[in-house]
Amino acid sequence: MEREAVLVGIDVGTSKVCALIGEVARDGSLTIVGKGVVPASGLKKAVVVNIEQTVRSISGAVDHAERLSGYQIDRAFVGVGGQHVESQNSRGAVAVTGHQREVTREDINRALEVARAVSIPSNREVLHVLPRGFIVDGQEGVKDPLGMSAIRLEIETHIVTAAATPVRNLAKCVQAANVKIDELVACSLASAEAVLSDTERDLGVAVADIGASTIDLALFLDGSPFKTAVLPVGGNNVTNDVAIGLKTSLQVAEELKTMHGTCDLSTVDEDEVISVSMLGEAAGRTVSRIEVCRIIEARMRETFEMLAAEIRSSGEGMLPAGIVLTGGAAQLAGAAALGREVLDMPVRVSGPTGIGGLTDNILTPAYSTAIGLLYWGARGLEAGDSQRFESAPAGGLPSRVRDALRNLFP
């Protein structure tokens, strides 16, 4: 099959850095030809706190992927996470010019520029301006108004912004690892590319990527996102609770959580015991498995309640397609059942699908963001949005977004 492009996605997470190299065929199918996964150091809650350590982690992941694929990585799509990622929706309206009163590309671009000109503080940068839909002379739900007769054209956009300092530090780390940036992509939107179906997006759905220390959340309706947010909790919070509750080390707590833990207490035998090593003690001891699972269930219940509050605050009512859980910490046994109980909506746990090549161990929820970055790039390629494949200088995002807007509707 003829190869159209080679794309690279780098997910810089709190617990791991993952670099994937994918080949995109003419028919849009993706094949993984290189992957590198290394433990992350230098990040806290998905934000860079130590440049040198982060650069080392990124270089390590890139190096592994290059050796496996035989390609040299020089540019990549990079995921942006952290609680500083926020979103807002904005409308822009313009009068349709031209003697025929027909909507032209220029009208669409002007409407985009008006929508984008919302007041954004100087310490924030725009990551995405995504068109959600158009209103032509009061008629809503128009997906492509080009060529329609109209007097007034309105566009509704979803604008994702991030704090400038963490974004620049991340860009600096990626560039110090000798990789240029094709585009910085909000992690939740990347994960959505990997796990959501078009039907779910149209109906109304949420995707929650539960990582080590953050949850990347995106809410979709009518095929496009209307809210993007990051919650400052994740799998590490559960591990910490287990370590404190059982007075054991984080390493032992993590093992207990992944090997014996569940959020569904009805599946646990009251008398079951597990052997653990005490912190600072040579002799092992046993703990009740139900005790471990009660700690896990309590923290996960609290996490789902936070998600429920965030979804409610969006004010868009119910999401008929429910919520899709992904990310490493979504793999905890019983997570979907507890989610259904707390959120009172359909909940499923999903990893990436529809991808070939070197997929051993990566078709799991933990790799949704990294694979989603490749899908994001492939979709841009399909749309002919060439601007998205030009590298961005650190801190040069706003002008790059402006250019990307001009190319959204070439």
The pLDDT confidence band at residue 130, using thresholds 50, 70 and 90, is very high
Query: Tell me, what's the pLDDT at 315?
Result: 73
Residue 236 inside a domain? The answer is no
- What 3-state DSSP class applies to 202? helix
Say if CB 305 and CB 342 are below 8 A apart: yes
| CA-derived radius of gyration, the chain | 22
Does the global pTM surpass 0.85? yes
Query: Tell me, what's the pLDDT at 390?
Result: 31
Predicted confidence (pLDDT) at residue 1 exceeds the cutoff of 60: no
Query: Tell me, what's the pLDDT at 281?
Result: 59
Torsion of CA 358, 360, 365, 369, to 10 degrees: -30
Domain holding 148, by residue range, is: 86-164+396-404
Residue 292 inside a domain? The answer is no
CATH number at residue 127: 3.30.1490.110
Residue 14 inside a domain? The answer is no
Residue 147 inside a domain? The answer is yes
Residue 123 inside a domain? The answer is yes
**Based on the structure, what is the number of domains in the chain?**
1
Residue 138 inside a domain? The answer is yes
**Beta strand pairing status for 323-326 and 347-349?**
parallel
Q: What is the DSSP string of 11-24?
A: EE-SSEEEEEEEEE
The pLDDT confidence band at residue 278, using thresholds 50, 70 and 90, is low
| Residue 81 backbone dihedrals phi, psi, to 5 degrees | -125, -165
Give 364: exposed, middle or buried? Use CB within 10 Å, 0-12, 13-18, 19+: middle
Predicted confidence (pLDDT) at residue 393 exceeds the cutoff of 50: no
Q: Burial code of 203-242, b = ≥16 C-beta within 10 A, e = fewer?
A: bbbbbbbbbbbbbbbbbbbeebbbbbbbbebbbbbbbebb
The rounded distance, in Å, linking the Cα atoms of 393 and 398 is: 11
Residue 98 inside a domain? The answer is yes
Say if CB 95 and CB 77 are below 8 A apart: no
The pLDDT confidence band at residue 279, using thresholds 50, 70 and 90, is low
Q: Which of 163, 157, 133, 230 is nearest to 191 (CA)?
A: 230
What pLDDT digit, counting tens, does each position of 48-63 carry? 999 999 999 999 999 9
Predicted confidence (pLDDT) at residue 404 exceeds the cutoff of 70: no
| Residue 202 backbone dihedrals phi, psi, to 5 degrees | -70, -45
- What 3-state DSSP class applies to 119? coil
Residue 90 inside a domain? The answer is yes
